[in-house]
Amino acid sequence: MTEENKNLEALAQEYDASQIQVLEGLEAVRMRPGMYIGSTSKEGLHHLVWEIVDNSIDEALAGFASQIDVFIEPDNSITVVDDGRGIPVDIQEKTGRPAVETVFTVLHAGGKFGGGGYKVSGGLHGVGSSVVNALSTQLDVRVHKNGQIHYQEYRRGVVVDDLEVIGKTDRTGTTVHFTPDPEIFTETTEYDFFKLAKRIQELAFLNKGLKISISDKREGHEQRKDFHYEGGITSYVEYINENKDVIFEHPIYTDGEMDGISVEVAMQYTTGYHETVMSFANNIHTHEGGTHEQGFRTALTRVVNDYARSNNILKEKDDNLTGEDVREGLTAVISVKHPNPQFEGQTKTKLGNSEVVKITNRLFSDAFQRFLLENPQTARKIVEKGILASKARIAAKRAREVTRKKSGLEISNLPGKLADCSSNNAEMNELFIVEGDSAGGSAKSGRNREYQAILPIRGKILNVEKATMDKILANEEIRSLFTAMGTGFGADFDVSKARYQKLVIMTDADVDGAHIRTLLLTLIYRFMRPVLEAGYVYIAQPPIYGVKVGSEIKEYIQPGADQETQLQEALARYTVGRSKPTVQRYKGLGEMDDHQLWETTMDPERRLMARVSVDDAAEADKIFDMLMGDKVEPRREFIEENAVYSTLDI
């Protein structure tokens, strides 16, 4: 063998060895997909998109891409397009293969080449495009670079052909298209447009100036949403507070950088009592908080107290405002970008890097202090809001000490109007809150007494949004609901004491019914939130039509997008010759007798109920403000979009 041949031989062997290793690497991903993407459920399926999109975001943060487009293709495959530099296609010395091929075939290879800048985004599990490749039946990449389009394709992570040039181009960028493997994603391979859109909007908020879109190309669902916020997280705060009253117009915004760690904070106070502080590290929502939040909170409390004292708004004898006081009504978004983030906690969504406390504290303190000095009117409003909160806190504590002794909410005082069920099994028990005495009467006689309880309520219950705690507790309708549920109130609230694990709101399908339902939902949201979070809350769905032959009702039609089609089909079914069935339209629960109410709305075998879910506290807060607000149109849209009807046996 010549010297040259020997070298070639050695090279070939090396190449084979590396190829085998590559296969082993990606085979491991297919063997244990959960280790790399968290799960193979709906979550994991969507996670694939973020693994790919994160790369384009990095390119945008590095200053080379400005537009990212995500497409759900008609077959539920995904395409991601950016206008960055394009993944390098040159042959790497180490592997002898084009860089782009390595990106898709070697585990953890993403972003390791090219030098310079660090990866800012990157999923929770810190893996990359090769994992997506391994878990896709098919993946292809098109790199527009140096006037050429470079193309390569893979099947379940295995290269089909060498990288090839398939055409000319006058732009640069990367396009990746992949089809998740149904052998891996056994639960579902169907993408959820709204789930993707929600996160894409969040990415647009978190990366100011970024232009990012999501398009659904599936038949009958075609739609596109574009997101672009020059205001970044300031726009995020404005968005969260959209339906709320605020105490000053423009959110306070600060940004800074120290030791390679960048910190941004945007905040604004609402006139309400709820605190919405959301934090992010490298674009990941740190649900469990962490060192950045800690630094922010400490700074906020200290700066407000310092300002209040030096301006003699807080006197020497006064106690300091607590963190809780200072955060009442606050909406804030904190976003840090760290070259080496440490994620801790149960769900790995708590930032652990200890140096971030001081950095966030310092950067935010300086800017916030300056803001207060330059905006004395706003500063005074902030301090006064904190003082009001502290007074309310002290008063509430006193009131609690009194009510704890005898709140009147003990189960021994079950309200007279409650028609309770006989079973003590909370898991199967259902409490129907029924509007009006007449419907309440039908529900009482139509129900299954073993596990269904009825609580009739009358008229408009108190609007809890605007009432104080003692007024709420004095309201009879509200008291009977709390007593019946058995969960206690306020600080003593205990969801595990719920006497019913289904709380069903049954109101008329008219404007008054919608109003009462909204008030009840707000009450539950504000004061029984754990019940909502546990998924115990439902909205009954009485039918809209009955199809009658003679005096006998043959079929009921439930409300929904296809109600008219359903009705026409039912009419056709019961038409014999020239004798047509008649249609009864139900406007209220009162139009049904007890038997009909049971059949159509209460019988678990036949009824339809919508479960009320709270996806995300901030989102829910926004929705409820919207429901309570004066704008009718968004409210109607919300009800139409979110009352997800299900025929499951609930």
Cβ proximity to ligand TSJ: between 143 and 314 the closer is 143
Say how many C-beta atoms besides its own lie within 10 A of residue 527's C-beta.
19
Smallest separation (angstroms) from ligand TSJ to the CB of 145: 8
Q: What is the C-alpha separation between 580 and 573, in angstroms, rounded? A: 10
Smallest separation (angstroms) from ligand TSJ to the CB of 99: 8
Given 54, 216, 264, 508, the catalytic residue: 508
Site string for ligand TSJ, 29-68 (x = CB under 6 A): -----------------------x--xx--x---------
300, 326 Cβ separation under 8 angstroms? yes
Please select the residue that binds ligand TSJ; options are 84, 290, 546, 581, rule is CB under 6 A.
Answer: 84
Please select the residue that binds ligand TSJ; options are 29, 37, 80, 252, rule is CB under 6 A.
Answer: 80
Q: Which of residues 168-197 bind ligand TSJ (CB under 6 A)?
A: 174, 176
Smallest separation (angstroms) from ligand TSJ to the CB of 225: 19
Cβ proximity to ligand TSJ: between 128 and 251 the closer is 128
Q: What is the C-alpha separation between 146 and 169, in angstroms, rounded? A: 8
Q: What is the C-alpha separation between 397 and 390, in angstroms, rounded? A: 11
CA nearest neighbour of 260 among 356, 135, 125: 356
Cβ proximity to ligand TSJ: between 45 and 308 the closer is 45
Given 275, 512, 594, 603, the catalytic residue: 512
Is-catalytic flag, 226?
A: no
Is-catalytic flag, 435?
A: yes
Please select the residue that binds ligand TSJ; options are 40, 44, 47, 82, rule is CB under 6 A.
Answer: 82
Rg (CA), the chain: 30
Smallest separation (angstroms) from ligand TSJ to the CB of 52: 5
Say how many C-beta atoms besides its own lie within 10 A of residue 223's C-beta.
12
Smallest separation (angstroms) from ligand TSJ to the CB of 65: 6
Q: Which parts of 451-510 fold into alpha helices (H)?
A: 469-474, 476-485
Is-catalytic flag, 510?
A: yes
Q: What is the C-alpha separation between 70 and 175, in angstroms, rounded? A: 10
Q: Which of residues 87-146 bind ligand TSJ (CB under 6 A)?
A: 87-88, 103, 110-111, 114, 128-129
Which residue stretch of 80-88, 205-213, 310-318, 498-506 sits at the interface with ligand TSJ (rule: CB under 6 A)? 80-88
Q: What is the C-alpha separation between 582 and 548, in angstroms, rounded? A: 5
Three-class secondary structure of residue 388 per DSSP: helix
Given 510, 616, 619, 637, the catalytic residue: 510
Task: For residue 461, give the DSSP letter.
Answer: P
Say how many C-beta atoms besides its own lie within 10 A of residue 32's C-beta.
8
Three-class secondary structure of residue 41 per DSSP: coil
Is-catalytic flag, 4?
A: no
Spell out where 217-338 has E strands. Answer: 223-227, 252-258, 261-269, 276-281, 284-285, 330-337
Which residue stretch of 83-91, 219-227, 505-513, 546-554 sits at the interface with ligand TSJ (rule: CB under 6 A)? 83-91
Cβ proximity to ligand TSJ: between 128 and 543 the closer is 128
Three-class secondary structure of residue 541 per DSSP: coil
Say how many C-beta atoms besides its own lie within 10 A of residue 122's C-beta.
22
Given 58, 435, 477, 625, the catalytic residue: 435
430, 504 Cβ separation under 8 angstroms? yes
Smallest separation (angstroms) from ligand TSJ to the CB of 31: 22
Smallest separation (angstroms) from ligand TSJ to the CB of 343: 21
Q: Judged by CB under 6 A, does residue 349 bind ligand TSJ?
A: no
Residues 6+ apart with CB under 8 A from 4: none
Give the count of residues interacting with ligand TSJ (CB under 6 A): 18
Smallest separation (angstroms) from ligand TSJ to the CB of 84: 4
Q: What is the dihedral of CA 347, 351, 353, 356, to 10 degrees?
A: -170
Q: Judged by CB under 6 A, does residue 522 bind ligand TSJ?
A: no
Q: Judged by CB under 6 A, does residue 85 bind ligand TSJ?
A: yes
Q: What is the C-alpha separation between 141 and 161, in angstroms, rounded? A: 12
Cβ proximity to ligand TSJ: between 128 and 436 the closer is 128
Smallest separation (angstroms) from ligand TSJ to the CB of 135: 13
Cβ proximity to ligand TSJ: between 9 and 90 the closer is 90
Residues 6+ apart with CB under 8 A from 613: 532, 535
**Angle made by CA atoms 435, 438, 440, in degrees to the nearest 5:** 55
Active-site residues, by number, are: 435, 508, 510, 512
Site residues for ligand TSJ per CB under 6 A: 52, 55-56, 59, 80, 82, 84-85, 87-88, 103, 110-111, 114, 128-129, 174, 176
